[in-house]
Chain A
Amino acid sequence: MSMVIDWELILQHSPALIVAIPLLGAFLTPLIGRIGPKVRNGFVVLIALVTSFFVFLLSNDILTNGSIRTYVFGGGKPLINNRFAIRILFEVDGLNAFMIIIGAILVLVAVIYSLKYMKEYTGLDKFYTLLLLMSVGMFGMMMTGDMFNLFVFLEITSIAASALIAFWTSKGKSVYAGLKYMVISTIGALFILFAIAILYSQYNALNMAVLASSIQYSFLDKIAFVLLIAGLAMKAGIAPMHMWMPDAYGRAPASISILLVGATQASLYALFRVTFTLYGNNLTAILKHIELDLLGNSIEFDITLNGVLGILFIALAVITIIIGVIMALKQTDFKRLIAFAAVAEMGYMLLAIGAAITTIGGIDPETGAMIIPAQGLMALKGGIFHILNDALDIGLLFLVAGAVYYATKETSLNKLGGLARNMKYTTVFFFIGLFAVAGMPPMNGFASKLMIYESTYLINPILAIVAILCSILLLAMFIKVLHSVFLGPKIPKFKGVKEVPKTMLFAMAIIACIIIFIGLFPNIVVENIVTPATEALHNFSNYIGGILI
């Protein structure tokens, strides 16, 4: 018998399935957990694998064809008589496809890593339920084309993540970190909801594409814009609103820290989507025309929104990088140190995107794309590329920190030492993560950071110098970790430490392999994955046109 698989049908439904399958899995997990822990573990891995399969299928289709897929829940057309009917829809373009690839890698790795890492704790049914719910929220945020839906998924991610950060309820600091995360993300999300309500009140629409085509940048739109940017920047951990990040990342179980990286980047994605797509038409709007009479020479220039916004983003990014790096250097807790490094990495992405925003020269009336010079385009590519690299690098380092914790039950850098002899593979993975996060040549971090350095140097040399200096500090801080955790004489307390189980090593190996592959062949990744994502970002008219199909 021959079975014909209708790939087009599967592709058509995969945006919904990517969210629906983990959701179904999440609610089935407590029931299946009654059969036995092994069956449940297998089930969760299966769910993660099936979800990733659909993700890669969908991303492959969108990235190769450059198409946009919309999925209207409940069926029907999004437009009735040329007016948008209120429908919840997912719209997946190049950038979304790029983001869900990151999400899929992180979810898969987190699930595989958790199998052994969390084995000795109780309440694992709830742990896996929440883990799958968190991935639902993450994927939803990365794919939705509806502003209110974005808020809902943001809250789903926050609630699940907060419960997971506080999973080790026997530790007071974990619970407090979970509460802090909840307070911060709820307040951020409420202001985002307020902004959405303001937009709805004016344009009677919630769909991103419809809003993008109708926003006039009136005073109320300005307020909504500020609320959205501030809320999403806080969720993305931009300094000085980054303080929840070290707490949450540092206290969560390692497999949750890596998922939190994904959730943070989903917020960053939403920030970019809001600036580039939702306010895309107004990004080059002239805010003020200034005429100065300076020593007889009259100087005329326009203040445009993208100039102001770009400088704001760059300022925040530089603060983020510096605070992250400087604070990380003095940390004595392994995971907290990585968390501050993650803050700094967030700054790199925002720096590149901010630099790109300043270079936007206008909107091409024919194609509807933004006119961006070569260096701006490169900055955009570098920033987008760095999202992928940051997720992998920081994720790998968190997994290594988790492995060290699993083997020694210790995260303090003052007490650890000499583990390289006992944990050979973990040490190798740490080396890979160290080089990658510091942007050393054969690893992936180098490729994207070089693009950021080059482009920001062309835009403003000082930015590049700050970025390079802080990269050196990143290297320095991880050399410190290398020295105090892995090198040095064997500490008597840790003489009997054994290498972590194979599934944990396997999870780390997956990320390490991807890191090395991207590091050796960045061109392949940039051409096939990053460029379509970048195009999707600056060619925002396609996104608006996507719902008309």
Chain B
Amino acid sequence: MIYNIPYVAVVALILIGLYTVVFKRNLIKIVIGITLIESGVNLFLITLGYRENSIAPIHTSSSQGSIMSLPIPQALTLTSIVIGVAVLALMLSLIVHIYRHYGTLNVTKIRGDEE
């Protein structure tokens, strides 16, 4: 049971993130929601690689006889984090520009493209 807690956390993080993106009207909060979803997915990937009583997957220490966690999900997570940083930086800088133009971050007040 205790090993299922991370999966519960994954689902909770993704749902909270989706809720934030859908129902919050502030652009910064929407970005926070996206990062929450991202953390959820990253946590899922990391959890997949975990093995009970495992050690860090380092090449030279593989002779100690103990189990290693899977390194590939960790590599995937790292890539995902790097992409997440780029996305976050881009979105925040776009939001800076939006704030300059409209003077607000409320999505209902920003006049973009409708209809």
Contact = CB atoms under 8 A, between A and B. Distances in A.
Given A173-B112, A177-B112, A194-B14, A187 B94 contact: no
B59 interface: no
A150 to B, nearest CB: 12
B83 A182 contact: no
A182 B91 contact: yes
Nearest to A205: B72
B87 A166 contact: no
A187 B37 contact: yes
Contacts, number: 91
A197 interface: yes
Interface residues of B, number: 33
Contacts of A176: 98, 110, 112-113
B98 A172 contact: yes
A173 B80 contact: no
A15 to B, nearest CB: 21
B44 to A, nearest CB: 5
Interface stretch (A38-46, A243-251, A261-269): A243-251
A175 B98 contact: yes
B97 interface: yes
Contact of A148 (B41, B48, B76, B97): B76
A118 to B, nearest CB: 19
Contact of A166 (B14, B48, B83, B94): B94
A287 interface: no
Interface in B66-88: 72-73, 76, 79-80, 83, 86-87
Contacts of B98: 172, 175-176, 179
A194 B44 contact: yes
A51 interface: no
A247 B48 contact: no
A200 B48 contact: yes
Contacts of B115: 327, 330
Interface of B: 14, 21, 27, 30-31, 34, 37-38, 41, 44-45, 48, 72-73, 76, 79-80, 83, 86-87, 90-91, 94-95, 97-98, 101-102, 110-113, 115
Given A148-B76, A179-B27, A180-B112, 8 more contacts: A86-B72, A148-B79, A175-B97, A183-B21, A190-B41, A197-B45, A197-B48, A247-B112
7 contacts: A155-B87, A166-B94, A172-B97, A172-B110, A175-B101, A194-B14, A194-B44
